[in-house]
């Protein structure tokens, strides 16, 4: 049972060390270092426990009460260390959860900004189309006004010419 727990913890610690490419905050990095240190302490204590099981100082090569108490104390220290590891891992997961929330909020914010930009672009495109229509209509009115002014000017010149000829005859 202890070997299974040790295997799972070691597997987890190697997975933490296998992802150095992640961008970590300094608090998260410090927490990871603390967990790794606790895991190293646990491995050392487990080695001591293995050695204490092999220690047989009694008569005829048997373990004494002191050997068993020593082994039990080392085992108790391993369990306490495991409890600390679990506490620190919870803190580490909380940091990771906060980072995920921050990234999610940032993504939502970026998405809403992009949507606002799209709406602004669409609005400006619609205004541009409307301005082109208004310009074309104003240009058409200007042409009609120019034609009317030229027609009236020509009519005035013709009327003046005819009036001048009529005055000359009279």
For all residues of the chain together, what is the average pLDDT?
Answer: 84
The pLDDT of residue 21 is above 50: no
pLDDT in the model for residue 46 = 86
Contacts of 52 (CB under 8 A, 6+ apart): 67, 70, 71, 74
Please count the helices (runs of H) and the strands (runs of E) in the chain.
3, 0
Q: What is the pLDDT of residue 50?
A: 86
Q: pTM value? A: 0.51
pLDDT score for 109: 93
Q: Model confidence over 87-126: pLDDT tens digits?
A: 999 998 998 899 899 999 999 999 999 999 999 999 999 9
| pLDDT tens for each residue of 67-84 | 888 889 988 999 999 999
**For 103-107, which contacts have Cβ atoms below 8 Å and span 24 or more sequence positions?**
none
Decide if pLDDT at 1 tops 60.
no
pLDDT digits (tens, 9 = 90+) for 153-170: 999 999 999 999 988 887
Query: Is residue 19 over pLDDT 50?
Result: no
DSSP 8-state class, residue 64: P
């Amino acid at each position: 049972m202890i070997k299974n727990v040790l295997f799972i913890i070691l597997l987890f610690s190697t997975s933490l060390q296998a992802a150095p490419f992640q961008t970590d905050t300094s608090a998260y990095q410090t927490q990871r270092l603390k967990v790794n240190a606790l895991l190293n302490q646990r491995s050392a204590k487990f080695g001591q426990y293995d050695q204490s099981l092999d220690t047989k100082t009694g008569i005829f090569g048997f373990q004494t009460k002191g050997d068993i108490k020593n082994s039990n104390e080392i085992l108790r220290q391993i369990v306490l260390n495991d409890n600390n590891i679990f506490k620190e891992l919870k803190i580490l997961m909380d940091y990771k959860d906060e980072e995920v929330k921050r990234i999610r909020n940032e993504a939502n914010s970026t998405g809403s900004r992009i949507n606002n930009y799209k709406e602004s672009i669409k609005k400006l495109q619609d205004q541009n189309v409307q301005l082109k229509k208004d310009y074309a209509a104003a240009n058409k009115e200007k042409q009609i006004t120019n034609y009317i002014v030229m027609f009236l000017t020509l009519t005035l010149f013709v009327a003046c010419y005819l009036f001048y000829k009529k005055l000359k005859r009279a």
